[in-house]
Structure 1
Amino acid sequence: MVLLESLDLSHNRLSRIIPIELVKLTFLSELNLSYNYLTGEIPQGGQFFTFEASSFSNNSDVCGLPLNEPCCDFDELTKPCLPSPPTTPKVNKTDEEENVDTSDIEENMWWRVAVGLSFAFAFNLVIGVLCLPTTLGSRTLGSELQVASDEWGKAISTMHGLRRLQMSNCMLSGLIPPSLANLTSLHHLQLDGNSFFSSIPARLHNLSNLVSLKLSSCELNGSIPSDLLTLPNLQEVDLSANLDLRGKLSSILPPHSARLNNIVLTTTRVGGAIPDSFANISSLTLLDLSDFFVQGQLPPTIANLTGLVMLDISNNMLRGSIPFFGAKHPLGTFPLAYIDLSYNQLEGNILSMLFGAFGKLRYVHLRQNLLTGAIPSPDMNLTSLTWLDLSYNKLNGTISSLANSKSLVLLDLSNNLLSGKIPASVNQLLFLETLDLRNNLLTDAIPNNISNLS
């Protein structure tokens, strides 16, 4: 079932943890495990980054992203920690409870958080994940309470055993507290969706145990610290959607890394040429530099990234040709499944060289470049391909048989210089939803069997 695209097991009585093996289903686009009795942490990685919280709702003790329910490790059992209070009370409150004055709690909230959790850490009562509550009574942290960065920073910076800090979309503002660098045990730092209007503190380089860093959509500015991506245990970094965040790829990409696998810098002002040393990030599986300021050529050494699954450098200023991936990889062995180099100025007659090395390609978007040559021949191994957009190029020749591309959902070859007939094999594309061949030089009649498309 490695090609499985949809899995719905909702409304059953399934229990125990979600199998980590599901992460290997790299083509999975729809998943519904809701209304069961599942427990434990939701697996992370692969297609699981794309699923909504509704995919896992109404289970027993499921925790972790994309749910707003962080996980804690107690006695080697992973369970939700700091759960939200029930929407309706289970028992009636006594008169004494009804008369409790909560104003002091709200006024001294951050002091109590610091003292209470520091006490817990001191006595080994709190281990692992921490996520501060998003609500207290009827007050929302960071919005109505207008929490200043120095307050939550001071409250947290003394918790030296903290491993996960997740405060996404908490409406925090001000500076990112440099004191976060004191959390040397931190593995996961997720502050995305806030409004810091701040630069990234250079002291974050002290977080040598950091595995995941997510600061997307934080209205960050200034330059990315040159040593940020060199953290020895860093595996995932997402600084996307920060329009005033600057830097040069040659300065911020590490010269080598055996751990870093996800780099997402889309929609920032980072730019420059991709250095040849980029290929020394041997563990890289996902690179997203779209809507960027990338210039120059794709280095030929990119073909050395034998684990690369997703490559998106669309909407940039790339020139030159697409590197030949087949030199070091036998036919069909390169793992790339998603490639988007659209809206650049790439050129060359190299489509066969591009497609020949890939056996798992599912998504190819090369729209609006200067590519020439013929459409990939039918002997190419394109059986997994679902999306092919080569529109607005200078491709010529005929459209060869499509018999080996039966999984296609979209085929867009419009605005090229293609000639000849529409192949009769188009009727074998049973999953095709979009076919666009406009503005070419095609001749002969429309195949009668095209009506067989379902």
Structure 2
Amino acid sequence: MISSTMHNFPSCILFLLLTLTANLFLPSLSEKCNPDDKKALLQIKNEFGNPTKLSSWDPTTDCCNGTWSGVSCDTDTQTFRVNNLDLFDLDLPQPVSIPPSITNLPFLFYLSLTNIPNLVGAIPPSISSLTKLQYLYFSQNNLTGVIPNTLSQIKSLITLDFSYNKLTGPLPDSLSSLPNLGGITFDGNQLSGSIPESYGSFPDSFTSLTLSRNSLSGAIPASLAKLNLSFVDLSRNSLVGDASVLFGSNKNTQKILLARNSLAFDIGKVGLSANLNSLDLRNNKIYGTLPEGLTGLKFLHNFNVSYNSLCGQIPQGGNLRRFDAYCYAHNKCLCGSPLPACKT
């Protein structure tokens, strides 16, 4: 009932007052954020210990209005479901695990939790319930435990990056069943065991294999010869044997980084990709003579074959002229510029 005093207001002012009063009690009419998504985000904030960097996650505001740090919603389909969660440098007040409530955001296609020193514990197998995920980044944290095999259930995955954590155990052999996977980056962990034979069955979309700075051992599977990798980094492990399967003149390889292993194969017999711009083979047991094809690599800007068992004349010309003696040092019997001349 409108009081008698309100009858004295002009009708236009009365209408305005009634409208403003109604809007105070009906904020949801203009809010685009799905209430389930908003609830999940506020639970995540709580599970993180309410870090100051998430102070923009204000329950009285719309989580899809662009002010919630690291949160984006699907505006293309007008469903406004939270599909992107990108959190980094969070000042967590104490060590916590990956918030369980993340799995209550079923429309996520991009999930990144990076450079959060107080993010600890295991990667939860339940992450596989996020069946729309395409990009998953858990890098530069302090996560422990194994990489869960359940990741192979997320058939939409394109990129996996768990680099620079404290993950242990083997490489999951089931990852090769992911039909859209483009690359895995697991550098800087404590992963052990061998590279699975199944990794030769990655799809054609798979172009990046980076596993450096781990404790991987054994031989590189011959099946990897079937891959056409643009970027491969297996450096600083304990791998042995033949790595020639990673080379090929018919491939599009740009970077091959194999330094600090115990690999042994004849470098003179490998084919070289015309796109090769980085080749680091130092500190292995590689033998043979350097292939003449190195002088024809137009994009080569990083090259090091020191501390191996190479012999013979160093090819002359092309981009090889930019590399000094350090890049060839400590081999069995390499000779020629920039090293001392070969003995006749």
Partner residue of 2:255 out of 333, 338, 345:
338
Question: What SS does structure 2 have at the residue aligned with 1:336?
Answer: coil
- Identity %, equivalent residues: 27
Confirm whether residue 180 of structure 1 aligns to residue 102 of structure 2: yes
Confirm whether residue 393 of structure 1 aligns to residue 308 of structure 2: yes
**Greater relative CO (CA pairs within 8 A, separation 6+):** 2
Confirm whether residue 371 of structure 1 aligns to residue 294 of structure 2: no
The alpha-carbon distance between structure 1 residues 289 and 118, as it changes in their structure 2 partners (threshold 3 A), is farther
> Which one-letter code corresponds to 2:273 in the other structure?
F
Partner residue of 1:221 out of 129, 137, 144:
144
Task: Using the TM superposition, give the Cα deviation of residue 168 of structure 1 relative to its aligned residue in structure 2, in angstroms.
Answer: 0.9
Partner residue of 1:197 out of 120, 135, 158:
120
Confirm whether residue 305 of structure 1 aligns to residue 227 of structure 2: yes
Distance 2:331 2:142 in 1: 40
Answer yes or no: is the 8 Å Cα contact 1:230–1:254 preserved in 2. no
Answer yes or no: is the 8 Å Cα contact 1:375–1:395 preserved in 2. yes
Question: What SS does structure 2 have at the residue aligned with 1:181?
Answer: helix
Task: Using the TM superposition, give the Cα deviation of residue 378 of structure 1 relative to its aligned residue in structure 2, in angstroms.
Answer: 4.8
Q: What does 1:28-177 align with in structure 2 at a 5 Å threshold?
A: 119-122=31-34, 142-143=51-52, 161-172=81-92, 173-177=95-99
Question: What SS does structure 2 have at the residue aligned with 1:284?
Answer: coil
Confirm whether residue 353 of structure 1 aligns to residue 265 of structure 2: no
Answer yes or no: is the 8 Å Cα contact 2:255–2:278 preserved in 1. yes
Task: Using the TM superposition, give the Cα deviation of residue 143 of structure 1 relative to its aligned residue in structure 2, in angstroms.
Answer: 4.8
Instruction: Count residues with an aligned counterpart.
Output: 285
The alpha-carbon distance between structure 1 residues 229 and 238, as it changes in their structure 2 partners (threshold 3 A), is farther
The alpha-carbon distance between structure 1 residues 271 and 238, as it changes in their structure 2 partners (threshold 3 A), is same
The alpha-carbon distance between structure 1 residues 379 and 262, as it changes in their structure 2 partners (threshold 3 A), is closer
Could you say which structure has the higher helix fraction? 2
Distance 2:124 2:178 in 1: 22
Task: Using the TM superposition, give the Cα deviation of residue 316 of structure 1 relative to its aligned residue in structure 2, in angstroms.
Answer: 0.5
Partner residue of 1:289 out of 191, 211, 230:
211
CA-based RMSD of the aligned residues comes to 3.6
> Which one-letter code corresponds to 1:391 in the other structure?
S
Q: What does 1:7-46 align with in structure 2 at a 5 Å threshold?
A: none
The alpha-carbon distance between structure 1 residues 406 and 145, as it changes in their structure 2 partners (threshold 3 A), is closer
Task: Using the TM superposition, give the Cα deviation of residue 213 of structure 1 relative to its aligned residue in structure 2, in angstroms.
Answer: 0.8
In the alignment, what sits opposite 2:169? 247
Task: Using the TM superposition, give the Cα deviation of residue 170 of structure 1 relative to its aligned residue in structure 2, in angstroms.
Answer: 1.6
Distance 1:117 1:407 in 2: 69
The alpha-carbon distance between structure 1 residues 118 and 415, as it changes in their structure 2 partners (threshold 3 A), is farther
Partner residue of 2:159 out of 214, 232, 236:
236
> Which one-letter code corresponds to 1:353 in the other structure?
K
The alpha-carbon distance between structure 1 residues 215 and 122, as it changes in their structure 2 partners (threshold 3 A), is closer
Question: What SS does structure 1 have at the residue aligned with 2:330?
Answer: coil
Question: What SS does structure 1 have at the residue aligned with 2:292?
Answer: coil
Confirm whether residue 413 of structure 1 aligns to residue 328 of structure 2: yes
Distance 1:117 1:418 in 2: 79
The alpha-carbon distance between structure 1 residues 116 and 261, as it changes in their structure 2 partners (threshold 3 A), is farther
Question: What SS does structure 1 have at the residue aligned with 2:145?
Answer: strand
Distance 1:357 1:391 in 2: 19
Distance 1:404 1:165 in 2: 47
Question: What SS does structure 2 have at the residue aligned with 1:191?
Answer: strand
Partner residue of 1:319 out of 230, 240, 249:
240
Distance 1:259 1:410 in 2: 42
Task: Using the TM superposition, give the Cα deviation of residue 302 of structure 1 relative to its aligned residue in structure 2, in angstroms.
Answer: 1.1
In the alignment, what sits opposite 1:93? none
Task: Tell which deviates more after alignment, 283-292 or 374-383.
Answer: 374-383
* Structure 1, unpaired ranges of 5+: 1-114, 135-140, 148-154, 423-434, 445-454
Answer yes or no: is the 8 Å Cα contact 1:319–1:344 preserved in 2. yes
Answer yes or no: is the 8 Å Cα contact 2:53–2:91 preserved in 1. no
Task: Using the TM superposition, give the Cα deviation of residue 384 of structure 1 relative to its aligned residue in structure 2, in angstroms.
Answer: 2.2
Task: Using the TM superposition, give the Cα deviation of residue 390 of structure 1 relative to its aligned residue in structure 2, in angstroms.
Answer: 0.3
In the alignment, what sits opposite 1:258? 179
Partner residue of 1:383 out of 282, 293, 298:
298
> Which one-letter code corresponds to 1:184 in the other structure?
P
Distance 1:116 1:271 in 2: 51
Question: What SS does structure 2 have at the residue aligned with 1:228?
Answer: helix
Q: State the TM-score, normalizing by the size of structure 1.
A: 0.56
Distance 2:219 2:113 in 1: 33
Partner residue of 1:403 out of 317, 326, 331:
317
Task: Using the TM superposition, give the Cα deviation of residue 255 of structure 1 relative to its aligned residue in structure 2, in angstroms.
Answer: 3.6
Distance 1:367 1:313 in 2: 12
The alpha-carbon distance between structure 1 residues 237 and 335, as it changes in their structure 2 partners (threshold 3 A), is same
Q: What does 1:415-434 align with in structure 2 at a 5 Å threshold?
A: 415-422=330-337
* Structure 2, unpaired ranges of 5+: 1-26, 57-67, 74-79
Task: Tell which deviates more after alignment, 277-286 or 289-298.
Answer: 277-286
Question: What SS does structure 2 have at the residue aligned with 1:120?
Answer: coil
